[in-house]
Structure 1
Amino acid sequence: MNSKMTALLLALISAVAFIVVPAGQTVDSGIQTVTDSTEYTVSADNAEGTPTAENSDSNISTQAPAETTTAVQTTKPEGVAEETTAPVDEDLVNHTGATAEKTDAPMGTAVQQHGQLSVKGANIVDMHGENFQLKGMSTLGVAIYPEYISKECFAKFRDYGVNCIRLAMYTQGENNSYIGNEYQNKELVDKGVQYCTELGMYVIIDWHILSDGNPHQYKSQSMEFFDEMSAKYKDYPNVLYEICNEPNGCSWNDVKSYADAVIPVIRKNDPDSIVIVGTPTYSQDIHEAAKNPLTQENVVYAMHFYAASHQFLKDRMSEYYNKGMPILISEFGTCDYTGNGGNNLQETRAWLELCDKYDIGYINWNMSHRNESSACFYQGTSPEHWNESNLREGAKFVLDWIKNH
């Protein structure tokens, strides 16, 4: 390039700079930025930083001041996390504690019709103040049979009139229990909640203690778990929390002190959801809880029965319901207390008739193909493609009851 051409190019560059840059400003080697007065807030569900309400877009002029240039901000305010380019699994909700993106319940579904549930006297009521019965199925450990955390499977249960899925998450004692496998279990719980939400079904997040009979054994882990879950699902009207499945080998005072620690963690994030609290002796001793009840609102007490073993508990349930105690049968079986053995369908009928009389909800155990009487399915059943021929005797009886009542 000769000297004349070089001089001409330099002159053109100078002219462009003179036109673009306002008087009194200089050109530097980077992109010029302007400082705006918008304050940024950073929270778990707002990692990118958005304007505060005091400086919302409706109060900010879109007209740039005279003699200034409006440029793209090239750096984030201090403390705001950088964006990540890591791939996102669209089927999962993230586990950062952020509020999950809520899907509105489909028209005509239980959640769309009944909305947020609460406790009034001895009953669960819907958003209209009318008694509402949860009628559901429970998983057998979300990580033991993860294939049953399936939208298609849940939808087939919904076709029978099931309006609730209980996501039983073993804390210890079974393969892939929560302690030591936290991330896997949270993934499956999140999938289950999302599928139920998309289907307009209620869902119970169950801290499924069993072999760890005293809930205090993993109290700190429980508090962390329910803090994360309640922060994530605080805006979901279909989510309920069960904080201790079947306390055993401990007293009601042990359970109550545990509940008094865990419930405030949930209430801090989600003040309106129902919390289900287990009772001593594998959630049979509701009478012990009645002597010194919890003081928090929207709490129900869990009672469990297995029809071939626990006929005597019907009178107990009737007595304490009529005394004003809110009760949920958050687990029951048609067989004996081992989850196996012969079914007693006559006694199951008597239990379900009593529950229907009082509008007490009930959740059947269990959604799996384990080789036992309490399992819903015969072995080899596809979670997505089952039909009535795949159902064991007990499950068929319960689902027919729900469908016709």
Structure 2
Amino acid sequence: MVFLPRLKTEGSRIVDLDGNDIVLKGVNIADPEVIYRDRHRVSILDVVDRVFFNLGCKVVRIPVTPEDFYGYGYGFLHQQDLYYHRYLKPLVDYCVEVGLYAIIDMHYVDGEPLVDGNPSFGYLDKKSQAFEFWDYIAPKFKDYSNVIYDIYNEPVQPLPTDLWEGPYDWLIWKDEMAQPLVNRIRLHAPENLILVGGPNYCLEMAGAASHPVQDPVNDPPSIAYITHTYPGHDRGRRIADVLDPIVDHVPVFVSEWGFEQGADRVVHGTADEFGTELIEYVERHKLGWTAWVFDNVWTSRMVNAKWSLLGEVGPNTDDTEVNGRMGGVVKRHL
């Protein structure tokens, strides 16, 4: 077992209990239940081995899907004890064993699934499910110094004026969802670092500087703010547009970023067009990150069907392959 210090925040930094700056870099994996049931050639713990020993990650983000969106019989809320004992606890315990921080992400993706061809909004409709999720999960890992809680993966907005457009109101999100969830988690887990996103798939984050979420237990608050960024996100808005208003004021962590040439419009891109700019920004501001995603099905993929890294520089790879696949880019910057 490897002891990892608890993390907290000071000003705009994530630090350990001695005040040392901590910049965690790693990857997202697929939902552990999906790995267990659908990913041949690997087990859940095999995936941890690969991201820790082969890549050198310091943190892994674990998306826990609360509900069965697509009729596959998956989802934490359908089978809480089974999910916890079979999938999640063994994974987090193994992270403790090897010395890996683990972000438990309540992985709602607002807008999914489609209902009669239209996206299903929004986060306010999932309030009771979110409370149920954290009432179960938060106390389970409160004594784990390596565990971080990500309260809600990608909220969109209440009362949309258009199916894919605003209003994206930080104050509605904070007052109606983010603050109540943080308060609920703190009832069970007073010390774990908490990550908070924002409306429009965590792109509308400026309000975090002027109206931050309060920590009812810790002063200074053990809360950091996240963004997700992809080449086609919100008509290609870049990471500087999202983070410049907050990066010098509150702690920031980039919990999703990725690209894959030829994939769907959100993630379609290359290292030259997107990845290099992203890496330069996070390194300039000394931000931690978890790339999306160390998987061979979910895009933007980092590995192929045989779980070999995509986009590595080698004698048999060409520039197009290296530039269009993010696995090699991630490995070189971990």
Q: What range describes the TM-score normalised by the shorter chain of this pair? A: 0.7 to 0.9
Letter in 2 for 1:366: V
Partner of 1:327: 252
Letter in 2 for 1:205: I
**In structure 2, how many angstroms separate the alpha carbons of the residues matched to 1:213 and 1:283?**
15
Normalized against structure 1, the TM-score is what?
Answer: 0.64
Contact residue 167 and residue 192 of structure 1 kept, 8 A: no
**In structure 2, how many angstroms separate the alpha carbons of the residues matched to 1:131 and 1:337?**
36
**In structure 2, how many angstroms separate the alpha carbons of the residues matched to 1:319 and 1:226?**
30
Which protein is bigger by CA-based radius of gyration? 1
Given candidates 145, 151, 163, the residue that maps to 2:45 is 151
**Displacement after TM superposition at 1:221 (Å):** 2.8
Contact residue 355 and residue 361 of structure 1 kept, 8 A: yes
Normalized against structure 2, the TM-score is what?
Answer: 0.77
Partner of 1:195: 94
**In structure 1, how many angstroms separate the alpha carbons of the residues matched to 2:126 and 2:298?**
30
**In structure 2, how many angstroms separate the alpha carbons of the residues matched to 1:118 and 1:125?**
6
1:207–1:276 Cα change, 3 Å: same
**In structure 2, how many angstroms separate the alpha carbons of the residues matched to 1:315 and 1:371?**
27
User: What aligned pairs does 1:350-365 form with structure 2 within 5 A after superposition?
Assistant: 350-365=277-292
**Displacement after TM superposition at 1:388 (Å):** 4.1
1:292–1:213 Cα change, 3 Å: farther
User: What aligned pairs does 1:33-48 form with structure 2 within 5 A after superposition?
Assistant: none
Partner of 2:165: none
State the SS of the aligned residue for 1:167: strand
User: What aligned pairs does 1:126-137 form with structure 2 within 5 A after superposition?
Assistant: 126-137=16-27
Contact residue 307 and residue 344 of structure 1 kept, 8 A: no
**In structure 2, how many angstroms separate the alpha carbons of the residues matched to 1:243 and 1:341?**
27
Tell which has more relative contact order, 1 or 2 (C-alpha 8 A, sep 6+).
2
Partner of 2:9: 119
1:261-297 per-position Cα deviation (integer Å, ceiling 9, x unaligned): 2222221222111111120000000013334221211
- Pair 1:294 & 2:213 matched: yes
Gaps of 5+ in 2: 113-119, 159-168, 216-220, 313-320
1:264–1:389 Cα change, 3 Å: closer
State the SS of the aligned residue for 1:331: strand
1:234–1:180 Cα change, 3 Å: closer
**In structure 2, how many angstroms separate the alpha carbons of the residues matched to 1:164 and 1:149?**
18
Given candidates 173, 185, 188, the residue that maps to 1:255 is 173
**In structure 1, how many angstroms separate the alpha carbons of the residues matched to 2:121 and 2:301?**
23
Partner of 1:375: 301
**In structure 2, how many angstroms separate the alpha carbons of the residues matched to 1:337 and 1:278?**
23
Gaps of 5+ in 1: 1-103
**In structure 1, how many angstroms separate the alpha carbons of the residues matched to 2:78 and 2:265?**
26
- Pair 1:162 & 2:57 matched: yes
Percent of aligned positions that are identical: 23
- Pair 1:313 & 2:239 matched: yes
**In structure 2, how many angstroms separate the alpha carbons of the residues matched to 1:126 and 1:346?**
35
**Displacement after TM superposition at 1:311 (Å):** 4.8
**Displacement after TM superposition at 1:308 (Å):** 5.4
**Displacement after TM superposition at 1:141 (Å):** 2.6
**Displacement after TM superposition at 1:368 (Å):** 1.7
Stretch of structure 1 that moved more, 389-398 or 359-368: 389-398
User: What aligned pairs does 1:193-232 form with structure 2 within 5 A after superposition?
Assistant: 193-210=92-109, 211=112, 213-232=121-140
RMSD: 2.5
Given candidates 76, 81, 86, the residue that maps to 1:178 is 76
**In structure 2, how many angstroms separate the alpha carbons of the residues matched to 1:337 and 1:285?**
22
Letter in 1 for 2:106: W
1:338–1:135 Cα change, 3 Å: farther
Instruction: Flag as ranges the 4+ runs of structure 1 deviating above 6 A.
Output: 389-392
Partner of 1:22: none
Letter in 1 for 2:12: A
User: What aligned pairs does 1:88-99 form with structure 2 within 5 A after superposition?
Assistant: none
State the SS of the aligned residue for 1:143: helix
